[in-house]
Every structure is written in structure tokens, then in C-alpha cells.
Amino acid sequence: MNMKRTTKTKPVEPLPPVVFDSKLALEMFEKRKARNAKIEKVDNASLYAGSPMTYYCRHCGELTAELPEGYLGKPRTICEPCEVLRAHGLI
């Protein structure tokens, strides 16, 4: 019985390097911030008991979470794009 393997694994092509464009990322950050500055934010303290709590990114004001009151986890206070900026030491 011929046990010779006939299938060859194709070499995996290396992924292109991911280039982080800090200038573009900061431009997008400024746009987000300007846009969110115009949006009226929900003031959790002014709501009646039992209302869901609304959270915004502390850097750009983007809505990050709407959670029921009494939610036990830690609400997200930084949005994903700002998290990337922070990881790159830009904010």
C-alpha cells in the first residue's frame, strides 16, 4: 500500500504590515470630538431611578454604552478608536 503523502501544504503568505496612520487617526479623533460636542448627552444623574445609564467616551464623547441601572460590570468609558490612539500614546 502506497502511504506516500501527495498533498503539500501551501506556504502561508505573510500578511502585509499594518501601517498605523497617526495623522489620519488624530484627524478622525478631532472629527469625532467635534461631532459629539454637538450631541446632547444624557445626564445620568437627572434621570429617574431605574433608568438605563448612558456612558460616553471620555476622550471624544462617543456613546460607548447604555446599561441598565444596577449593571454590575464596569462600563466602557473609552471608545475603540480612542483605545487605539491611547495604545499609540497619542492621547
* 56 lies in the site for Zn ion, by CB under 5 A: no
Per CB under 5 A, does 57 bind Zn ion? Answer: yes
Out of 1, 49, 62, 76, the residue judged to bind Zn ion by CB under 5 A: 62
**Rule CB under 5 A: is residue 82 a binding residue for Zn ion?**
yes
Per-residue mark of binding to Zn ion, 9-48 (x: CB under 5 A): ----------------------------------------
Residues whose CB falls within 8 Å of the CB of residue 60, separated by 6 or more in sequence, listed in order:
29, 32, 33, 36, 79, 81, 82
